[in-house]
Amino acid sequence: MTEGKGAERLHITRRRLLRSALLLGPAAYLAACNQTGKAPEPTPSRLLNATPGQLTAVPAASDLGAGKDLRFPIGIIDENNRPITDATVQLAFFKVTGPSTAELRGRADTTYRETPGLEGRGVYVTRADFDEAGDWGVVAQVAQPGRDPREVRVAFKVKPKSSTPSIGDPVPHSHTLTANTRDEVERICSARPGDDYHHLSIDQALDQGKPLVVLFATPGFCTSRTCGPSLDVLDTLHSMYPANANYIHVEVLKDGHPPQDGGAWQYVPAVDEWGLPSEPWLFLIDDTGRLVDKFEASITAGEIQPVLAKLVGA
């Protein structure tokens, strides 16, 4: 993501115009001005490109903090509100650098990753460097078979530091619930049947000095059907390298179920300790207890396996 750094700049008169032009395109910006007499406030929602007849880009990372080689998943929706799954998508990342400028910080190819269990649904994933916090924009060039390439733009924010552990940082030594018998597991886990990844607490696993794979997910209560498949992904990874790492599933909901009788939602303490803004998340940790990589939401074994293979020395 270093190609072209600083080589391209966008020059416009005001920050508002910059963000609108970068992310909506000049025509949409002018249309908004004509209707209201002034540009709308540039909230992230209003900056989304969702004009009839156009593509929509949906950045899928909820916890981007400044850093290098970070996972950047993005969904592309067509003019009929259907996800595009057959395109070649190239991304150009811009940093908003001032009131009237944005700077190209890099370009990247993507790989389409279909969400397990959801045919025809998925995201385009790349790795990128976001070397400073603040307002960013991405321009996606979308080339589908038999069609002229199209372009879509969208804004996103990069925080100074992610709320989840940063790559290279030590992970929290959380004490998570453990269970061994099927009955015990099903008291703390929403999966049915309960899975086999509750024998160790995170802190116990870290003390073993062995690579660790941790999945935070609520497989039993996810009607989007992405948490259940994420448990399948953990199964797949475990089957590939059963002895080279420890594998833990942390159920997100306290007691493994949603509130009953109108009570409040309760999460296990590790959710706060790991700073999770969403779920599911899968974390890869090395034998010194430092984070190697992290994967949010649309989790696939194909994307994780090469990283895990390197981690376990396979």
Burial 278-298 (b: 16+ CB within 10 A, else e): ebbbbbbbbeebebbbbbbbb
Asked whether position 46 contacts another protein by CB under 8 A, the answer is yes
Query: Under the criterion CB under 8 A, does residue 115 sit at the interface with another protein?
Result: yes
> Which residue, 139, 153, 142, 148, is CA-closest to 91?
139
Among 271, 292, 304, 311, which residue interacts with another protein (rule: CB under 8 A)? 271
Q: Smallest distance from the beta carbon of 31 to another protein, in angstroms? A: 13
| The one among 145, 146, 160, 262 contacting another protein by CB under 8 A | 262
Q: Does 83 bind another protein (CB under 8 A)?
A: yes
- Enumerate residues 164-223 that contact another protein by CB under 8 A: 222-223
Closest by CA position to 139, among listed 89, 188, 96: 89
Alpha carbon distance 9, 154 (integer Å): 17
Cβ(281)–Cβ(103) below 8 Å: no
Contact with another protein (CB under 8 A) among 13, 111, 180, 224:
224
Specify the residue, 45 or 239, whose C-beta has the smaller distance to another protein.
45
Is 67 or 258 the residue whose CB approaches another protein more closely?
258
Residue 5 or 121: the one with the smaller Cβ distance to another protein is 121
Report whether 16 contacts 39 (CB < 8 A). yes
What distance in Å separates the CA atoms of residue 18 and residue 126, rounded to the nearest whole number?
25
Q: How many CA atoms are closer than 13 Å to the CA of 30, on its beta-carbon side?
A: 3
**Interface segment toward another protein; rule CB under 8 A; list 14-22, 145-153, 258-266, 304-312:** 258-266
For residue 36, what are the contacts with CB-CB under 8 A and spacing of at least 6?
Answer: none
Instruction: By CB under 8 A, name the binding residues for another protein.
Output: 43-46, 48, 50-54, 56, 58, 60, 62, 73, 75, 77, 79-83, 115, 118, 121, 123, 222-227, 252, 258, 262, 265, 267, 271, 276-279, 297-298
